[in-house]
Structure 1
Amino acid sequence: MKAASTLRAKLLRHVIVPLALTWLIGALLALAVARYFTQQAFDRALLDDAYAVASHVRHAEDGGITLGLSSVEMGNLLFDQNENLYFAVYQDDGRLLAGHAGLALPEGARSAVTPFFTETPFQKLLLRAVVLGRSKPAHFTVVVAQTTRVQDRLFERLLFISLVPQLLLVIWLAWWLRRAIQNDVQPLMDLERAVAQRDVRDLTPLAISSRTLDVQKLGESINALLHRIEQSVRGQKEFAGNVAHELRTPLAGIRALAEYGLTQSDPQVWREQLRSIAQSQERASHLIDQLLALALAQEAQQVLQPQALALDEVVRDSLMRHLHRADALGVDLGVDFAQGLNAPVILAQRALLEGALDNLIDNALRYGVPTDGGPRHVTVALSQPEAGAVCLSVIDNGPGITDAQREQLLQRWAQGSAGEALKQGSGLGLAIVSEYARILGAQLSMSRPASGPGLQVSLRLALQPSVG
């Protein structure tokens, strides 16, 4: 398996390789352009020499043409202290009129449009030549060629002057980029080292470098994750501690009842003990459900997503879950929807809303026992106290609570006088409702019902804005 490259190596490759290729292509293009214009300058001088030679072609006495320059005059005309120049003048029929006999007319020159520039061999040298055709005083062709030593040396110097400084500049730029990239990725490497060296039990926030915004955001995201993990671990520890602490008593009671029953031989005693065991098991199951509900509340903000809920449907489903129990207890369980409140819709987590409503109905069925022994009734009411809000209330006609008890009952493991008298519950119901209300963004309130004695617990929820 091929080893993965480091981020620094990838950045260097992705920056330096395109930079080097761009420099190389640019340098080659610049050299090609410089070579082209340099060649144009030399070719212009070579063409001027060809015109000078052609200007000295005259009519001869026999009716033909002749070159009106001596060899000395021609040497002065084509003098160059750095290059060797050669010439040849050809008549229209291809015969050499004057010049160097070995300097042949280049192939293709006869049919080409003049002036025509090309390379031609002469005396084991490759010369730069120009072919110039003239029609006066008669048709003839002039070939002038020269060596390219100066031109080659000039191009070599141009190549050196152009490439070497740019190459040094690219090397310096690559060195600077390497240092800059190293400095830029150093906070990321420090963050990686800090995470790698962190103990599994250490969930404290990491030190975040503010040198680069991306690394800062990454560090903040990691710290936010550590915070969520810490909350989850704390919740799990608290849940485990609560379970261990609270289940110890009912389990010990169940064991004691069973051991006592085993020591008796009377079937009636066995029946009473089994009935007590069943009641203790029911209380333990209820306690476990309450503890699981608290654990759900601590995870709901990260796990459960809000959704549009029809509040009347949630109320109907909750009533159906508790209707059988209410009938068994002789409680009149019903609903009361305010007039004009048509299918209110809220944005909330369904599990939390149902959990809050189930706990409120369960509390009302447990503790809403009238002190005068009269008939019991529990009502789930929906009203609209103001535009954009709906109030979900659970009302019973029990003994109610005092003003001093309202804040106390929102704490975990706190029970009211009815719960202590009935020896039921664990003191978690209203604490769960309070936690759910906080996550739902609802306002929890407890008051005396307008219809008489009892307790009214209300959740004020925001309606979902209507579309259109």
Structure 2
Amino acid sequence: MALTKQKSLFGQILLWMMIPLTVLWPLSFLVSYNLGRNIADAPFDQGLKNSVLNLSQQLQSSYSERSLSSWGLSVPSSDEQDHVYYQVAVVDAETIVGTVSMPEPPSDMVLNRVQLYDAVMYEEPVKVAYMWVDLAGQSLLNSRFKEHPIVLIQVAESLHKRETLARQILQGVTLPQLIFLPIAVMLIWFGLFRGLLRLNQLQHQMSQRDSQDLSDLSTEDTPEELQPLVHGFNHVLSRLRRHIALQKRFLTDTAHQIKTPLAGLKTHAEYALATQDEADRNHSLKQIVASSERTARLVNQLIALSRTEHLAEERLDLSPMDLASIAREQTVYAADRALQKGLYIALEVPDTPVWVFAHAIMFGELIKNLVDNAIFYTNSLVIVRVLFDEERAHLYVLDDGPGIALEERENVFEPFHSILGANGNGSGLGLAIVRQIAQMHHAVIDVSDNNELRGEQVGAVFHVSLPRQIVRSDESSE
């Protein structure tokens, strides 16, 4: 089986910082180039506008044919990089001066205002400034403009100098970036290393701890980002300490509970071997059988408690079950034990199924322990009852025993807890198993007095309530 490569937190943080940087860096070039173009366009656009305005002023002050030929002298001539074109034309008529094949300006005509547009001339892009001039209001007017007083003035220039200036601006911006980017990466790496140093120190502090040291980690010098991790780890340590304490108590109580019947077995066995009286020997043997049964019951309950604790740590597989059917089955099993003790056991369940989500074996174990507990402590009567309402199903186990005092009702669910003065010698594990299974089924369990009894009898009622499930007929048939 191939080993899974461990991921580095440092590497992941560095990667997620470098990915945006590698994306944003080329994007910054694009933004810088567009910004450089805008900066480069501004003075050249203004130069084109000034040329148009100069031509407009000459047009309005020139009245002779000779002056017409000198209008273009105010327009800058072409240089080594760019070509400059100009045109003076009348609307829907011939070109007066300049390049004949100038592009058509946008269709909207705004008089006496210089505007710009992009075009292509001689297979190269150009920027064109143009203005519509109205000469109708002049008192002295050249004969060429009398019939067509609206004049179009255009000056066009290719874009080579603009692109050159934009590239120079981009180089001026990006060259420092190329120099400082490696420095920034090194500073990021150093910052991450310093930032994760406290995490490494925390890991070292944990690894150097003694295996028996379960005290909480200190949070005094812990950075704010690591506080949740430390608090979570301390919470786990707290649960572990509590679990270990419970396990130690459980082992101590188990040893004590097993030691007592084993000592009794040993005493009765020695007495049976030593006595010559047949009646005493038979009595000792009967006591050995009774002690063996109690010990076997204790061991079985220890195994059941261990199994429920193990299953509680896992996800219990619940499915629709008929609570009435489980109660009926466990009551039938318990009838033999009740009859042997001369007790009466009754079952009261509805005629219709009472569907709940449950684990049949584990919930059967819950009912079995409740019934066994009732048989163990009752005087004459045990009743198993199942009821339901719109939302919940209810299981009741009633007895007519000594009852449970109010201050004892929470403690009876603790392992090895037995009520002082109660009839019999129980192990104190049955109700602990019941509570564990109830928690696994999200059920609520409580204890109260048996108010159905008359006279001075108290009795006890164990009530288990869990959510009821509505199951369709086709699901129940499965």
| TM-score category (smaller protein) | 0.5 to 0.7
1:333 correspondence with 2:345: yes
Residue aligning to 1:43: none
Residue aligning to 2:265: 254
Q: Which moved more, 1:258-267 or 1:402-411?
A: 402-411
For the aligned residue pairs, the C-alpha RMSD in angstroms reads 5.1
Task: State TM-score, norm by structure 2.
Answer: 0.57
Deviation at 1:218, TM superposition (A): 4.4
Residue aligning to 2:446: 444
Deviation at 1:224, TM superposition (A): 4.3
Q: 1:383 aligns with which of 381, 387, 395?
A: 387
Residue aligning to 1:464: 468
Alignment CA distance shift 1:217-1:234 (3 Å): same
Residue aligning to 2:374: 364
Q: 1:225 and 1:402 mapped to 2: Cα distance?
A: 35
**Contact kept? 1:368, 1:396, Cα under 8 Å:** yes
Residue aligning to 1:120: none
Q: 2:13 and 2:411 mapped to 1: Cα distance?
A: 61
**Contact kept? 2:453, 2:459, Cα under 8 Å:** no
Which residues of structure 2 form unaligned runs of 5+? Answer: 41-78, 81-121, 125-163, 473-478
Q: 2:361 and 2:202 mapped to 1: Cα distance?
A: 38
- Matched letter for residue 345 of structure 1: W
TM-superposition CA deviations, 1:329-378 (whole Å, max 9, x none): 3433231125xx74333456666644442222112222323xxxxxx442
Residue aligning to 1:393: 396
Residue aligning to 1:211: 224
Deviation at 1:303, TM superposition (A): 3.1
Residue aligning to 1:310: 322
Q: 1:2 and 1:442 mapped to 2: Cα distance?
A: 44
Q: 1:432 and 1:416 mapped to 2: Cα distance?
A: 20
**Contact kept? 2:395, 2:463, Cα under 8 Å:** yes
Q: Which moved more, 1:450-459 or 1:12-21?
A: 12-21
Q: 1:195 aligns with which of 188, 201, 206?
A: 206
1:181 correspondence with 2:182: no
SS of 2:452 mapped into structure 1 = coil
Number of paired residues? 359
Q: 1:26 and 1:354 mapped to 2: Cα distance?
A: 70
TM-superposition CA deviations, 1:140-170 (whole Å, max 9, x none): xxxxxxxxxxxxx999988974553012331
**Contact kept? 1:254, 1:281, Cα under 8 Å:** yes
Deviation at 1:275, TM superposition (A): 2.9
Q: 1:368 and 1:272 mapped to 2: Cα distance?
A: 26
Q: 1:30 and 1:434 mapped to 2: Cα distance?
A: 71
**Contact kept? 1:232, 1:299, Cα under 8 Å:** no
Q: 2:422 and 2:9 mapped to 1: Cα distance?
A: 66
SS of 2:313 mapped into structure 1 = helix
**Contact kept? 2:394, 2:463, Cα under 8 Å:** yes
Alignment CA distance shift 1:219-1:464 (3 Å): farther
The correspondence of residues 270-281 of structure 1 with structure 2, limited to 5 A, is 271-281=282-292
Q: 1:286 and 1:465 mapped to 2: Cα distance?
A: 34
Q: 2:250 aligns with which of 233, 236, 239?
A: 239
SS of 2:375 mapped into structure 1 = helix
Q: 2:264 and 2:206 mapped to 1: Cα distance?
A: 48
Q: 1:359 and 1:389 mapped to 2: Cα distance?
A: 22
Q: Which moved more, 1:282-291 or 1:4-13?
A: 4-13
Deviation at 1:251, TM superposition (A): 1.1
**Contact kept? 2:369, 2:430, Cα under 8 Å:** yes
Alignment CA distance shift 1:403-1:4 (3 Å): closer
Alignment CA distance shift 1:413-1:406 (3 Å): closer
Q: 1:254 and 1:359 mapped to 2: Cα distance?
A: 25
Alignment CA distance shift 1:365-1:467 (3 Å): closer
- Matched letter for residue 456 of structure 1: A
Residue aligning to 2:353: 343
Deviation at 1:9, TM superposition (A): 3.7
TM-superposition CA deviations, 1:158-190 (whole Å, max 9, x none): 897455301233124213422443355445434
Alignment CA distance shift 1:16-1:289 (3 Å): same
- Matched letter for residue 319 of structure 1: T
Deviation at 1:241, TM superposition (A): 1.0
Q: 2:453 and 2:5 mapped to 1: Cα distance?
A: 77
TM-superposition CA deviations, 1:18-67 (whole Å, max 9, x none): 73587479769989x999xx9xxxxxxxxxxxxxxxxxxxxxxxxxxxxx
Deviation at 1:381, TM superposition (A): 1.1
Which residues of structure 1 form unaligned runs of 5+? Answer: 39-79, 84-113, 117-152, 370-375
Q: 1:361 and 1:257 mapped to 2: Cα distance?
A: 31
SS of 1:182 mapped into structure 2 = helix
Residue aligning to 2:336: 324
SS of 1:257 mapped into structure 2 = helix
Identity over aligned residues, as a percent? Answer: 24
SS of 1:303 mapped into structure 2 = coil
- Matched letter for residue 12 of structure 1: L
The correspondence of residues 148-167 of structure 1 with structure 2, limited to 5 A, is 161-167=172-178
1:12 correspondence with 2:22: no
Q: 1:285 aligns with which of 286, 296, 304?
A: 296
**Contact kept? 2:404, 2:449, Cα under 8 Å:** no
**Contact kept? 2:355, 2:471, Cα under 8 Å:** no
